[in-house]
Amino acid sequence: MNLLESSGLAILRQIDPETSHALALKGLNSGLLPLPGPITSPRLGTMMADLPLLNPVGLAAGFDKNATAVAKLSRAGFGFIEVGAATPLPQDGNPKPRLFRLKEDRAAINRFGFNNDGMTAIAARLEQRKRGPVPVGLNLGANKTSQNRAADFARVLATCGPHVDFATVNVSSPNTEKLRDLQGPAALAALLEGVMEARASLQVPIPVFLKIAPDLNEDELAAIAEVALSSRLSGIIATNTTLSREGLKSAHKGEAGGLSGAPVFEKSTRTLAKLSQLTQGQLPLIGVGGISSAEEAYAKIRAGACAVQLYTAMVYHGLSLAARIAKGLDRLLTRDGYANVAEAVGTDRDRWL
């Protein structure tokens, strides 16, 4: 982390978290922050479903909700980025304050509730982007007031799908009432049927992933794995934020919403490993939750992930964390004698089961 970035982070951490986030996006778009450009090597280059990646370190949804910083983020060292979540209609989300730093826990709690500009505005921005070697995906959401939330996901995909490289069905956010109910087998199968019909109608069908919660028991995970395999999904993202508050120290630990960051690492990695066991390599898995170092990204990969995503750790370690993790992964793969990151996937899965 250079002096400019560390000084900027110190200032931003003195400001309300949501305001700080908005300022960070403006700063990124201003061009003041030096960006490393693509980070790759023969060991880091890999595949995520049908998508070639320069490296397996991605940006999770939520950082750039409205696709306003895609060009800059594509040069920040990530192997892929995910924007959104987008809903059919614009919505303000839940009342403020709705984002809380948990400094002592290296974590955050949010209850945004899918605040975004809506699929039409987001699609227009994505249409204007210059396509390059870094895949850009969109997280699909549903409006809070929708009478048919399952149909919302298909609507967003039909509108935005032509302008992105992959999409993620997000039924795991804890901040929209009863949204997680759509993770049940029957509801999920019906929802995915509509989404896959929308995917088939695209001129160029794109990979579709499913993002799940870390708070599922083994029977629920097994049911989701079965539905995912039968629905022709491209992969699963494990995991979203958790409702658990176990072991937290920070003053904001009692706030409602989804917890992300360091405390989620073990729980999300166990979920990932279990999914790897259940799917037996038939579905690519993307590991998310609590990654703040190359070693933690490597642990997710060895637990079964073909790629990983970051978000909360950047609050504490800066945007340059992506490039540092990618370079660190390259060194770890070299140390352990792997010619390619794909060779390391799942090699330490049993440790987490």
Which residues are annotated as catalytic?
173
% helix, strand, coil for the chain, step of 5? 45, 15, 40
The residues near 269 (Cβ < 8 Å, ≥ 6 apart) are 287, 289, 290, 299, 300, 303, 352
In this structure, what DSSP letter does residue 202 have? S
DSSP assignment of 205-228, as one string? ---EEEEE-S---HHHHHHHHHHH
Number of C-beta neighbours around residue 105 at 10 A: 19
How far apart CA 180 and CA 184 sit, in angstroms, is 8
Distance CA(260)–CA(246), nearest Å, equals 12
Rounded Cα distance, 126 and 190, in Å: 28
Nearest residue to 332 via CA among 302, 298, 293, 308: 298
DSSP secondary structure letters along 124-185? HHHHHSPP-SS-EEEEE---TT-S-HHHHHHHHHHHHGGG-SEEEEE---TTSTTGGGGGSH
Token pair recorded at residue 252: 């904001």
Residue 156's CB is within 10 A of a number of other CB atoms, namely 29
- Residue 20 region by backbone torsions, left for phi larger than 0, else alpha for psi between -120 and 50, else beta: alpha
Identity of residue 254: G
Could you tell me where the beta strands, DSSP code E, fall in 10-153?
46-48, 51-53, 57-59, 80-86, 99-102, 107-110, 136-140
User: Which residues is 245 bridged to in the sheet?
Assistant: none
- Residue 190: asked if its preceding bond is cis (omega within 30°), the reply is no
